[in-house]
Copies of this chain bind each other. A is one copy, B any other.
Amino acid sequence: MSRKRSSIDLGSMQSEEGMSGSGRDEAIYRNLYAAIVENHLEPGTKLPEDTLAEAFGVSRTSIRKVLQRLAYERLVDIRLNRGATVAQPTVKEARDVFAARRIVECGVLGQVVAKATPARLDALREIVRREHEAEARGDRRESIYLSGEFHVALARVSENEAIADFLAGLVSRSSLVIATYGAPMAGSCRHSEHDAVLDLIAAGDAEGARTWMERHLKDVERTVVLVEEEPTATDLRKILDDVARRHRGER
């Protein structure tokens, strides 16, 4: 009756169009992606190929492909002969990501306003509704996730895939930034004002929507990056402390 430890259930794949790899690879990718972006895996966590291969019940070959893809998206870091770890965005990187979001999200709003329809706006309001719901019951993870979803869904209204896909990448990196530098309750303190921008868009006020979005993104960045610096500082600090202690003749 002793059976090998069962592998992770990857769920069922439905539509398989436009996918580069096999359905299974895609499923593994989604799992890892979610684990990283939803902050179940702390930045810096090592991701050994063997472990993942066993966990998902495949060979290292498939895992490698998935890790390469995540590395390209900057969600994991691969160093030569050293394997993969969950990425730890630097402060500079974090700033770049938010600056990029300002440029892209504000820039695309013209097309968004042009292509907005009542049906699409309703779909967006539905996301905001779920966002408030999650916020109300204190589900921070879901709240952050839905906030990201909103920004991406908004961009997709423009029907520009190049821009929307790029923004999706920036948003997932933002999640990593929040995980690394975020204040304990960032994102939930100031309850989301996403409804406001939808009103402006519905009114056809592209310029107003732009200034609103610029403000909103700067707010988000402020609640996050300003808590900055921690990563390598720990090691350095410990070393300096040790040196000082030894100088004082302790121990």
A interface residues with partner B (beta carbon < 8 Å): 16, 19-22, 65, 68-69, 71-72, 78, 80, 93, 96-97, 99-100, 103-104, 106-108, 111, 160-163, 166, 170, 173
The DSSP consensus for interface residues of chain A is helix
- A19 partner residues in chain B, CB cutoff 8 A: 80
Give the residue of B21, B80, B96, B162 whose beta carbon is less than 8 angstroms from that of A100: B162
10 A-B pairs whose Cβ atoms sit less than 8 Å apart in the complex: A16-B80, A20-B71, A20-B78, A20-B80, A21-B80, A72-B72, A93-B161, A100-B162, A103-B108, A166-B166
The minimal Cβ–Cβ distance linking A207 to chain B, given in whole angstroms, is: 15
Which chain B residue has the least Cβ–Cβ distance from A72?
Answer: B72
The 4 closest A-B pairs by CB, nearest first: A103-B107, A100-B162, A96-B162, A107-B107
A161 touching B96, Cβ below 8 Å:
yes
* Complex Cα–Cα for A78 and B18 (A): 9
Assuming the A-B contacts A99-B163, A108-B103, are A22 and B68 also in contact, with contact meaning beta carbons closer than 8 angstroms in the complex?
A: no
The minimal Cβ–Cβ distance linking A181 to chain B, given in whole angstroms, is: 16
- A80 partner residues in chain B, CB cutoff 8 A: 16, 19-22
Which chain B residue has the least Cβ–Cβ distance from A78?
Answer: B20
Instruction: Contacts A19-B80, A93-B161, A99-B160 known; list 18 others, CB within 8 Å.
Output: A16-B80, A20-B68, A21-B78, A21-B80, A22-B80, A65-B68, A68-B68, A69-B72, A99-B162, A100-B160, A103-B103, A103-B104, A103-B107, A104-B107, A106-B107, A107-B107, A162-B173, A166-B166
* Complex Cα–Cα for A65 and B78 (A): 14
- A111 partner residues in chain B, CB cutoff 8 A: 99
The minimal Cβ–Cβ distance linking A240 to chain B, given in whole angstroms, is: 27
Assuming the A-B contacts A19-B80, A80-B22, A107-B107, are A100 and B163 also in contact, with contact meaning beta carbons closer than 8 angstroms in the complex?
A: yes
Which chain B residue has the least Cβ–Cβ distance from A92?
Answer: B161
A96 touching B163, Cβ below 8 Å:
yes
* Complex Cα–Cα for A22 and B78 (A): 11
- A21 partner residues in chain B, CB cutoff 8 A: 78, 80
